[in-house]
Structure 1
Amino acid sequence: MTAEGGTAEGEALAGGLLNAGAVFRRGALVERPAPRTARALHAHLLALEEQGFDAAPRPVRLTADGREELTFIPGDVALPPYPGWAMTETGLRSVGSLLRRLHDASASIAVDASAEWPRSLADPAGGTMLCHNDVCPENVVFRDGHAAALIDFDLAAPGRAVWDVAMTARYWVPLLDATSAAAFYPAGLDAPRRLRILADGYGLSLKERAELPGVTQEATASCRAFVAGRVADGDPVYTQALSERGGWERWDRIQEWLGAHRETFTAALLK
């Protein structure tokens, strides 16, 4: 998230829809709504630090009014429409590398089975590793053209590495038809090439590369269901975003485009 303006509560941070208008920076700390899984998530973030992963916020405390405080991570965060500096091939490769570092550290940490991890964007196949599930540009801090840190772990849940890569690819390739991509991304991005660069940056195995195109279709369906749930609940932020971004016709178009390009993506990943 990036600074939007000063308030009595602190410096408002812009970016993302889930906690829009509710995240503030106070000096070296960020205060935001605490997710239901905050205690388990804070323990996980501390365990990541113990594993040597220094690219995530450090939890400080939970407040009495249901908020959390975490360390602020300095750097640049891209907001839509996404600037060219965030969409370079070097930056894309570094996003894959950063996600791999997260997964390597997370794989050594036991998932808290007692926590009610959110299922809305979680891998339907499940898994033994805690995935981020929301590595969109708004949740990646850049420094000097490279992805330096991940923020906003609210939607973290157990899953497979390939699922987290697929969710990441949706935003960073991006895996969108040309009409949908034009609203937020620089022109001329080569989706098959960029999907290969992300997979290379991550170090995705041959088996996972073969699975990735199909998993991206599943991930897109999960994202659509997530939006549908928020809209059905009367969430004004998601309802407005859906309307402004082309409604359900846009989602239909994206899903059709993914299906039509599945073989092209598979060929790019396996060549």
Structure 2
Amino acid sequence: MTEAPDGEQLAGGMANAGAVYRRGGLVDRPASRNAAGVHAYLAALRDRGFDGAPVAAGLDGDGREQLTYVEGEVALPPFPAWAMTEDALVSVGRLLRRLHDAGAGVDIDPGAHWDRELADPAGGPVLCHNDVCPENVVFRGGRAVALIDFDLAAPGRPLWDVAMTARYWVPMLDPTSTAAQYPGGLDQLGRLRLLADAYGLTPAERAELPAVVEQATAAGRAFVERRVAGGDPGYVEAVARRAGWARWDRMQEWLVAHRNAYAAALTESPSP
């Protein structure tokens, strides 16, 4: 982070790098098309006692929004070991469950322009975050305390959000992709079960999760393909830097090859 004339510049994501600023207790950033709907949702979550997300403070006519700043640490790639501990993973699963439990009683505005690019194709009863990657989770004292960047939020099944989260936090990636961004020695199968336990998945949801992760990964690839086809420089550069589409091929082939192992880790009783 650097000091900018109009505030403290924050890292931002690929879509808004260099355009996010902190001014005191507020974050000023580009607004998404669904900003008004997200702002109403965040307010409803806070009314229901959920404190794990920022609160909207304004939406101006210049295409920017203001949100409360959430104090804490955010892990950026290559991800540090502190963000990938088992305690950190458990806290992410519990935070996601709290989000969904609070959101279950919130009416979703059918007229809002929810982004469909990473949305659950089946739709669903809650507003999913859809991008619970390490860069969008705020930690304090090694524990996940808040989710930020709801730009890709859209109605879906809670299990879709768990699948998206598992992709990043287990991570459900092939070894080459994992080694590029994550600390060594992560036990994929053990971490997948730990996330499911922390969230509180039912037996039926556990049985379904591996297939939903495959579906979510395909959605992620299609999202990147659209960005590259549209000439988005950040995504074009990222795909080129990460060996083209071979990385996505590896990830998808890995998920299919290990489908049964994932299912067993989720559904079988652990050894004493």
TM-score (norm 1): 0.98
Instruction: Report the 3-state secondary structure (helix = DSSP H, G, I; strand = E; otherwise coil) of the residue aligned with 2:138.
Output: strand
Paired residue secondary structure (1:148): strand
For residues 121 and 162 of structure 2, the distance between their equivalents in structure 1, rounded to whole angstroms, comes to 14
- 2:215 is equivalent to residue 224 of structure 1: no
Aligned residue pairs, count: 268
Does 1:195 find its partner at 2:192? yes
Note the C-alpha offset of 1:15: 4.3
> Could you say what secondary structure the match of 1:68 adopts?
strand
Q: Per-residue CA shift, 1:77-116, capped at 9, x if unaligned?
A: 0000000000000100110000000000011001100112
Percent identity between the two aligned chains = 65
Q: Determine the structure 1 residue equivalent to 2:212.
A: 215
- 1:106 aligns with 103
State yes or no: 1:253 paired with 2:250. Answer: yes
Asked if 1:120 is matched to 2:111, the reply is no
Give the letter aligned to residue 70 of structure 2. I
Pairs within 5 Å for 1:146-165: 146-165=143-162
Q: Secondary structure at the match of 2:27?
A: strand
User: Could you state the TM-score of these two structures normalised by the residue count of structure 2?
Assistant: 0.97
Q: Quote the Cα distance in structure 1 between the aligned partners of 2:134 and 2:258.
A: 23
Please give the alpha-carbon distance, in whole angstroms, between the structure 1 residues aligned to 2:89 and 2:240. Answer: 29
Q: How far is 1:9 from its partner?
A: 2.0
For 1:150, give the aligned amino acid: L
Question: Which residue among 16, 19, 26 is the counterpart of 1:19?
Answer: 16
Q: Which residue of 1 aligns with 2:42?
A: 45
Contact persistence 2:92–2:144 (CA under 8 A): yes
Equivalent in 130, 133, 137 of residue 136 of structure 1: 133
Task: Decide whether the 8 Å contact of 2:12 with 2:19 is kept in 1.
Answer: no
Deviation of 1:58 after TM superposition, in Å, equals 0.5
- Aligned residue number for residue 175 of structure 2: 178
CA deviation map 1:202-221 (0-9, x unaligned): 00111110000000000000
Among residues 238, 260, 264, which one is paired with 1:263 in the alignment? Answer: 260
- The equivalent residue for 2:81 is 84
**Please, what is the CA RMSD of the aligned residues?**
0.7
- CA apart distance, 1:18: 2.0
Q: 2:232 and 2:212 mapped to 1: Cα distance? A: 28
1:167-222 CA deviation, whole Å, 9 max, x = no partner? Answer: 00111011110001101000111111111111111001111100000000000000
User: How far apart are the structure 2 equivalents of 1:125 and 1:178?
Assistant: 30
Contact 2:137–2:147 (CA<8 Å) still a contact in 1?
Answer: yes
Alpha-carbon distance in 1 for matches of 2:165, 2:209: 11
Look up the SS of the partner of 2:155 in the other structure.
strand
Query: Residue 64 of structure 2: which of 58, 62, 67 is its match?
Result: 67
Contact 2:37 2:113 in 1 (8 A): no
Corresponding letter in the other structure for 1:103: H
Matched, 1:33 2:30: yes
Gaps of at least 5 residues in structure 1 are none
Aligned equivalents of 2:78, 2:242: Cα separation in 1: 12
Question: Counterpart in 2 of 1:167?
Answer: 164
C-alpha separation between the residues in 2 aligned to 1:40 and 1:207? 31
Amino acid of the structure 1 residue aligned with 2:135: E
Q: Distance in 2 between matches of 1:18 and 1:242?
A: 15
The separation in 2 between residues aligned to 1:109 and 1:161, in whole angstroms, is 14
The match for 2:240 is 243
Contact kept in structure 2, 1:129 and 1:158, CA below 8 Å: yes
Shift of 1:262: 0.5
